[in-house]
Structure 1
Amino acid sequence: MTEATKHGVVLTETAVSKVKTLLSAEGRDDLRLRVSVQPGGCSGLIYQLFFDEQLEEMDAVVDFGGVEVVVDAMSVPYLDGASIDFEDSIQKQGFTIDNPNAANSCACGDSFS
């Protein structure tokens, strides 16, 4: 696992590899992985992970072996210490977020409070 940094989000080696594969498929070199927290979901807050070409002045950016992870200033406190992994099993395929700041989460795992 990569060491935590100023925005506090950690990307596992598996997640870094998957993001690199997805970025390669996009065929662009100007995209970053943006992780944010937005109001919504059945528990109050939802995670958003998407590729973004924009970089705002207050964004925290950390490079994980060629993958830039961007977190906006409002989301940093909610994501401090969170670990993003990629799971590829018979039960589930996709990114997972283990967040020590989430007091409660819904059954679907997409939202938290």
Structure 2
Amino acid sequence: MTDTTTTAPAHGVTISEAAADKVHRLLVQEGRDDLRLRVAVQPGGCSGLIYQLYFDERVLDGDAVVEFPAADGATVEVVVDRMSVPYLDDSKIDFEDSIEKQGFTIDNPNAQGSCACGDSFS
């Protein structure tokens, strides 16, 4: 069962206002209102596990879905599959847009180590 109205993230992942606004802007740019941000952990990378962030129109059995406020009164949905929830508990997704870096970041307190690229963790 999914609960898209809960205020406490069922999947333990939170998303900053900047990240929610960027997700919303990307969806508006694509002209899609049927997509949600899927966050997953997959085997791979230098340290054993990699993050996957992508837009998905599906909600699968066992997915945890939480809505977050975005710009202009809109909301964005963040989906985490059942297998990824324990790896992402208490993680925060942010979006940086500076001269040094542009892109989404994940601050994951469960990661015991990561590689230099920052895309892989253990």
TM-score, length basis structure 2: 0.89
Percent identical: 73
CA distance in 1, matches of 2:8, 2:41: 18
User: Which of 36, 40, 43 matches 1:39?
Assistant: 43
Cα RMSD (Å): 0.9
Structure 1: where are the runs of 5+ without partners? none
Amino acid at match of 1:70: V
Structure 1 SS opposite 2:41: strand
Structure 2 SS opposite 1:94: strand
CA distance in 2, matches of 1:20, 1:27: 10
CA displacement, residues 58-82 of structure 1 (integer Å, 9 cap, x when unaligned):
0000000210000000000000000
CA displacement, residues 18-68 of structure 1 (integer Å, 9 cap, x when unaligned):
000001011111100000000000000000000000110100000002100
Alignment of 1:1-113 (within 5 A): 4-65=8-69, 66-113=75-122
